[in-house]
Amino acid sequence: MFKKLKKLVNLLTEQDIKLGLELLSGDIIVPRISEEFKLFSIQGSLILDSAVLKCINSISIHFNCILDNFDERNLDKQRLYITHSQLELLNKPIEICAGTSAFGFELALPRSLPSSVNSSLFNLKYILTAFVEFKDNIKLTKNLSIKVFNGYLLPNSDLWSNYYEDSGSIYEFIDWKIDFLSRIFNIDEFINFKFRLEPLIGTSISVLTATLVQELLIFPNTTDLVNDTRLKPKSEFVSQWLYNITNQYACNNLEIHLPITSKSPNTNPIILPTMKTEHFEITHKIQIQVDCIPYSEFLNRSFIIDIPIAITSSSKDFGDIDLPNYGIDKNSSCIPFKELPPIYSH
């Protein structure tokens, strides 16, 4: 009976207190990492609306990055916490009066944070959590889901921007050559390149298929396994371009325009940016399949050429993100809690 009464009292008390949590910037845009700056900071506010005078023992802010890896073999979800930061706002108990009380905070985070991901292969999400504990043992918790964008995780970004060409021979019966002005493409663009096929006399080419392939590799926690070359990535076919060659015995110079789509129907995978982190890697490649019948043979053969490319996204995909208003009225004696100036120390 006493426990039920205590639970009812706590429930009524919690209804007299409301907890809010917000960031000044909304979504998080991660700045470029450098030798000098490894960290950056986010600012926000914790807001308490109380109907009565209350005494607070502690307030803490937790920032978590959670990776959910979907195992297609048994449909289980493997969860991994890859980033955790924590901040204590109080060093001693304080009293708050009835009304609204706001607590500003600043949390330091690594500049290696990967972008948020929501796909059929895995999810990468960020949650900001506030914990408030009162003297009368009442505890409040508030979760805030956050989107993070980091455009600086593409390895060797300068290399992808250069002109690229490659060439080779298929079974020594077909010569091929491929040309890219650049191998880095933005989401929702087309992958444009030239492909030349030159069959030797008597060799016929029937079909050419170009496919955009997306691969994901999640690294195990064990260092020995990370270096294991036997690790197999998960692959998805994102889009495809198929061409039936009419003049099968002649030289063909093809201009290929392979679409990239980030907002695909449910039947197709969602395209993700190319990135490499210490926990996972997302790569992309163009897979070209040539179907041909070599000279003096009667059976159709297929040959596959893989060309690595890079896919990027811009912060515009997260909408317009405005800087906070740091203006202060001339007659104001304090800084409003929603207009905290940045702290540039590290």
Residue 158: C-alpha distances to residues 75, 154, 161, 183, 201 (Å): 39, 10, 5, 10, 41
Please write the tens of the pLDDT for every residue from 40-65: 999 999 999 999 999 999 999 999 99
The identity of residue 115, as a single letter, is: S
pLDDT at 332: 36
DSSP assignment string, 171-234: TTTEEEEEEES-SEEETTSEEEEEEEEEEPTT-EEEEEEEEEEEEEEEPPSSHHHHT-TT---E
Residue 300: CB atoms within 10 A of its CB come to 12
pLDDT at 228 over 80: no
pLDDT at 71 over 80: no
pLDDT at 327: 45
The domain defined by 2-151+322-339 carries CATH number 1.25.40.420: no
Q: Are 179 and 274 in contact (CB under 8 A)?
A: no
pLDDT at 337 over 60: no
Cα distance between residue 303 and residue 176, in whole Å: 11
Of 258-267, 281-290, 316-325, least confident by mean pLDDT is 316-325
DSSP assignment string, 22-45: EESSSSEEPPPP-SS--EEEEEEE
Q: Which two tokens stand for residue 49?
A: 């609306």
Q: Which tops the pLDDT comparison, 21 or 224?
A: 21
Structure confidence at residue 31 as a pLDDT band (50, 70, 90): very high
Give the strand pairing for 28-29 and 148-149. Answer: parallel
Q: What is the mean pLDDT of residues 152-164?
A: 90
Strand order in the sheet with 39-50: 17-23, 39-50, 99-110
pLDDT at 225: 45
Q: Are 148 and 113 in contact (CB under 8 A)?
A: yes
Q: Are 203 and 190 in contact (CB under 8 A)?
A: no
pLDDT at 217 over 70: yes
The identity of residue 270, as a single letter, is: I
Q: Are 282 and 274 in contact (CB under 8 A)?
A: yes
Please write the tens of the pLDDT for every residue from 229-249: 557 888 888 889 999 988 888
Of 19-33, 184-198, 303-317, 323-337, least confident by mean pLDDT is 323-337
Residue 92: CB atoms within 10 A of its CB come to 7
Q: Which tops the pLDDT comparison, 118 or 318?
A: 118
Q: Are 129 and 62 in contact (CB under 8 A)?
A: yes
Q: Are 285 and 215 in contact (CB under 8 A)?
A: yes
Please write the tens of the pLDDT for every residue from 161-201: 999 999 999 878 899 999 999 999 998 889 999 999 999 88
The per-residue pLDDT of the chain, averaged, comes to: 82
Cα distance between residue 245 and residue 268, in whole Å: 27
Structure confidence at residue 219 as a pLDDT band (50, 70, 90): confident
Of 84-88, 211-215, 257-261, 287-291, least confident by mean pLDDT is 257-261
pLDDT at 248: 82
**CATH 2.60.40.640: which residues of the chain?**
2-151+322-339, 157-313
Q: Are 175 and 164 in contact (CB under 8 A)?
A: no
The domain defined by 157-313 carries CATH number 2.60.40.640: yes
pLDDT at 139: 93
Compute the radius of gyration of the chain from its Cα atoms. 28
Cα distance between residue 196 and residue 198, in whole Å: 7
Structure confidence at residue 319 as a pLDDT band (50, 70, 90): very low
Please write the tens of the pLDDT for every residue from 73-94: 544 567 788 888 999 999 899 9
Give the rounded percent of residues in the chain with a pLDDT score beyond 70.
Answer: 79
pLDDT at 178: 96
Structure confidence at residue 318 as a pLDDT band (50, 70, 90): very low
Q: What is the mean pLDDT of residues 278-288?
A: 94
Query: Can you tell me whether residue 15 is helix, strand or coil?
Result: helix
